[in-house]
């Protein structure tokens, strides 16, 4: 769900910067350090925990002084970091811990910028809050005066068991103004990492954890050669070209019959697809969803527009194969996603419970859903688990290879 689709925050940050609230001003003394540190190839590796029961990923970070600990979602589909407020309408007065109390932090600074953002495929999931600058701790390092919002969580986000997000997207998501500094960008500016990139390795569906490596690439986590695919959301800025989203061109998709052989093409045009760690599933156009679902005996449930298939398909040898545009005439990446990674285990996600057909057959959640005409094409974690993905802001590309699971 947590693709950011609308925000009033970025323009407000521009106003805040004009009023002297620039993040660059807060960390300006570290600018030279970041360039010097870049020569040493510094990286920071952070465990990312697979919460399949909740349909999302989690990393651990701290906010404030003394540090308040949170386990929140790393989201390449949005730029903002936020943590929940005890006054969230979805749960007050009995909101679960942890909730953030900026008054308990000696380093929290109210910068008077309102958080107003909508998540998901429709503009209905609007959440409000307020931004602060405070010390963020991640991977054993501290980022002083990093922007973090105290947010009033609404029912749909709370029901999705999302209790905080750290955005790993683009500062330019609204295309026209600079937004709050992103975590990976701030790690670079402060000299903790030497490159403006990070690598995501989620491991297999049944694994407890994977990693996010900020500033580097671990080729041992990839099968075969990492191949580049250019970002498609490039815009010019005074400092040169930049990007608005981690979107790339999906040029081929076919289903491979693992038992009898043969490939069935599923698309005849290319799509701009966002590789979004904040989305548990793939969200595709309705016609493509219908083609994918046709041989799977799908049962649709009106609750959250979910799709279920017979659990026996988890052991099918069939797979989906995704091909992406190459860069500068080179061959692009190719990723194979087996059915066992697309279809959830029986009873997962836990908040939806066990599902059976009318004849008692066990049904399993399908990690491919229709985008309901939103025009958004997302390759979420049901795809990303099968890939090793390098999100590269310096070269405006993704580098992708088949994942090597452990």
258: number of CA atoms within 13 Å, CB side?
Answer: 14
Residue by residue, DSSP assigns 184-213 as HHHHHHTTS-SSSEEEEE---TT-SEEEEE
Question: Count of CB atoms within 10 A of residue 340's CB?
Answer: 18
Q: Residues 88, 162: contact at Cβ < 8 Å?
A: no
The CA distances from residue 363 to 51, 292, 338, 387, in Å, are 20, 17, 18, 26
Q: Which of 134, 276, 318, 392 is catalytic?
A: 276
The active-site residue out of 25, 29, 53, 75 is 75
Q: Is 395 a catalytic residue?
A: no
User: Dihedrals φ, ψ of 305, to 5°?
Assistant: 50, 45
Whether a cis peptide bond, with omega within 30° of 0, leads into 21 is no
318 is catalytic: no
Tokens found for residue 244: 């608005």
Distance CA(272)–CA(277), nearest Å, equals 16
Using alpha carbons, select from 134, 146, 275, 140 the residue that is nearest to residue 214: 140
Both tokens assigned to 5: 């689709």
Nearest-angstrom CA–CA distance, 281 and 274? 12
DSSP-assigned states of every residue in 67-95:
TEEEEEEEETT---EEEE-TT-TTTTTSP
Backbone angles phi, psi at 307, to 5 degrees: -120, 135
Q: CA dist 305 to 125, 299, 308, 322, 367, Å? A: 16, 10, 10, 24, 12
Decide: residue 36, CB within 10 A, 0-12 exposed, 13-18 middle, 19+ buried.
Answer: exposed
State the DSSP string of 113-175: EEEEEEESSSTT-EEEEEEEEEEEEETTEEEEEEEEEEEE--HHHHHTT---EEE-S-TTTTS
- Which are the catalytic amino acids? 75, 276
């Amino acid at each position: 769900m947590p693709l950011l689709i609308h925000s009033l925050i970025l323009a407000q940050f521009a106003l805040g910067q004009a009023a002297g609230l620039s993040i660059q001003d807060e960390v300006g003394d570290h600018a030279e350090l970041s360039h010097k540190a870049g020569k040493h190839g510094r990286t920071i590796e952070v465990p990312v925990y697979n919460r399949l029961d909740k349909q999302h990923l989690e990393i651990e970070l701290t906010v404030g002084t003394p540090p308040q600990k949170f386990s929140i979602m790393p989201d390449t589909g949005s730029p903002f970091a936020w943590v929940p407020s005890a006054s969230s309408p979805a749960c007050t007065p009995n909101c679960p811990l942890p909730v953030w109390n900026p008054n308990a932090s000696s380093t929290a600074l109210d910068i008077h910028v309102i958080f107003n953002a909508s998540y998901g495929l429709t503009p209905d999931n609007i959440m409000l809050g307020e931004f602060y600058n405070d010390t963020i701790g991640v991977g054993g390092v501290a980022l002083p005066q990093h922007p973090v919002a105290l947010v009033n969580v609404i029912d749909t986000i709370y029901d999705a068991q999302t209790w905080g997000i750290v955005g790993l997207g683009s500062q330019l998501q609204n295309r026209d103004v600079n937004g709050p500094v992103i975590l990976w960008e701030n790690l670079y500016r402060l000299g903790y990492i030497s490159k403006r990139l990070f690598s995501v390795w989620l491991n297999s569906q049944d694994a407890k954890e994977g990693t996010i490596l900020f500033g580097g690439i671990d080729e041992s986590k990839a099968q075969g050669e990492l191949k580049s695919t250019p970002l498609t959301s490039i815009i010019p800025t005074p400092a040169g070209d930049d990007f608005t989203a981690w979107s790339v061109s999906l040029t081929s998709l076919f289903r491979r019959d693992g038992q009898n052989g043969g490939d069935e093409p599923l698309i005849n045009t290319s799509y701009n697809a966002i590789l979004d760690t904040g989305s548990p599933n793939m969200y595709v156009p309705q016609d493509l969803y219908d083609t994918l679902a046709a041989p799977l005996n799908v049962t649709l449930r009106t609750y959250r527009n979910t799709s279920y298939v017979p659990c026996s398909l988890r052991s099918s040898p069939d797979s989906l194969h995704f091909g992406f545009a190459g860069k500068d005439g080179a061959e692009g990446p190719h990723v194979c996603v087996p059915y066992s990674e697309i279809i959830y285990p029986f009873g997962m996600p836990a908040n939806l419970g066990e599902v059976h057909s009318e004849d008692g057959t066990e049904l399993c959640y399908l990690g491919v859903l229709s985008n309901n005409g939103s025009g958004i094409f997302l390759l979420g974690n049901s795809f990303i688990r099968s890939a090793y993905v390098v999100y590269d802001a310096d070269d405006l590309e993704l580098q992708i290879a088949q994942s090597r699971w452990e």
